[in-house]
């Protein structure tokens, strides 16, 4: 697969190639749409200044590898503290080779999480080996915009997305959907799958959330119609900002003139 050969469809490609955006002229992902929906100026900055590797994301990626059976090589580095130059060099070499270095305790924690997930009836059924494929990428055009998405788990009847989190309490997860733009992600993934004929209209999208601390609780969730509608609207806003920025070179910030600030509504209600 090269940038000059890409056509709409499903691709089994390495994650690095996916993130490098092989679409000529660029494509828009759910991650980009989330930033655009918040602040086009920030999107443009991140586009021009790709962020360096962040080790704090490695635990979640490693959990995906164990749970989904697909991902980078996991390498246990037995030292409890990676302070010596020798150990730092080993860790850097593992990352340079595309692997994920893990302390023994973290690797065991991920294995325990996978065991707890396997004991969860609904989550384990969704992720039944052979029922779907992991880490598949799609690319498709929608008018003047090319989109790209990468599924955690794709089955003929649903999409599943596995996320590690601090809490799987429904109230906490509802806030996380809003703050982290998971409703935008669902809309884009679902739309791409339907556009490419991979799923029928109305197919399920299941979020599988798991806590990162014992007893590694699991919640399987779907978004309600209001959340899905908001995800659709925010995606439309992001696409409009993307087109505007490409055509004009102007990527606005939150506000561009002097503004008036109000207190949060719950504070105003206390003094009303």
pTM of the model: 0.91
| CA 208 – CA 122 distance, rounded (Å) | 9
185 cis-preceded (ω within 30 degrees of 0): no
Task: State pLDDT tens for residues 201-236.
Answer: 989 999 999 999 999 999 999 999 999 999 999 999
Check residue 3 and give its pLDDT: 45
**Which is it for the CA torsion 74, 75, 79, 84, positive or negative?**
negative
> Quick one: 84 exposed, middle or buried, by C-beta within 10 A (0-12, 13-18, 19+)?
exposed
Write out the DSSP string of 205-267: EEEEEEESSTT--EEEE---HHHHHHHHHHHHHHHHHHHHHHHHS----S-SS-------HHH
Q: Exposed, middle or buried, 13 (CB in 10 Å: 0-12/13-18/19+)?
A: middle
Number of Cβ within 10 Å of residue 192's Cβ equals: 24
CA distances from 91 to 4, 75, 84 (A): 36, 9, 11
Which domains does the chain show, CATH number per domain?
Answer: 9-38+121-271 (3.90.320.10), 53-119 (no CATH)
Task: Please list the pLDDT of the chain residue by residue as tens digits (272 residues).
Answer: 544 578 999 999 999 899 999 999 999 999 999 999 999 999 999 999 988 777 778 999 999 999 998 888 999 998 878 888 888 899 989 998 889 999 999 999 999 999 999 999 999 999 999 999 999 999 999 999 999 999 999 999 999 999 999 999 999 999 999 999 999 999 999 999 999 999 999 899 999 999 999 999 999 999 999 999 999 999 999 999 999 999 999 999 999 999 999 999 999 999 98
Bridging pattern class, strands 145-154 and 100-102: unpaired
Tell me the C-alpha to C-alpha distance, in Å, between residue 128 and each of 112, 197, 230, 256, 267.
18, 22, 31, 51, 48
Give how far Cα 143 sits from Cα of 67, 140, 146, 240, Å.
Answer: 36, 10, 8, 12
């Amino acid at each position: 697969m090269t940038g000059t050969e890409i056509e709409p469809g499903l691709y089994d490609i390495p994650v690095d190639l996916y993130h490098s955006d092989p679409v000529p002229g660029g494509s828009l992902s759910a991650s980009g749409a989330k930033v655009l929906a918040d602040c086009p100026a920030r999107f443009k900055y991140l586009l021009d200044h790709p962020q360096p590797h962040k080790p704090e994301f490695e635990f979640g990626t490693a959990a995906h590898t164990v749970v989904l059976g697909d991902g980078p090589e996991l390498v246990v580095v037995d030292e409890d503290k990676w302070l010596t130059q020798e150990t730092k060099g080993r860790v850097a070499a593992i990352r340079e080779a595309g692997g994920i270095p893990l302390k023994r305790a973290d690797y065991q924690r991920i294995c325990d999480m996978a065991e707890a997930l396997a004991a969860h009836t609904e989550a384990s059924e969704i992720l039944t080996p052979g029922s779907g494929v992991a880490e598949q990428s799609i690319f498709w055009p929608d008018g003047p915009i090319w989109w790209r998405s990468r599924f955690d788990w794709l089955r003929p009847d649903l999409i599943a997305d596995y996320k590690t989190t601090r809490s799987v309490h429904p109230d906490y997860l509802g806030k996380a959907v809003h703050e982290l733009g998971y409703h935008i992600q669902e809309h884009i993934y679902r739309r791409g799958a339907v556009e490419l004929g991979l799923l029928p209209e109305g197919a399920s999208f299941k979020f599988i959330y798991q806590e990162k601390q014992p007893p590694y609780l699991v919640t399987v969730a779907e978004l309600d119609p209001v959340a899905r509608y908001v995800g659709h609207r925010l995606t439309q806003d992001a696409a409009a900002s993307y087109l505007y920025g490409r055509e004009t070179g102007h990527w606005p910030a939150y506000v561009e003139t002097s503004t008036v600030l109000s207190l949060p509504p719950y504070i105003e209600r206390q003094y009303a």
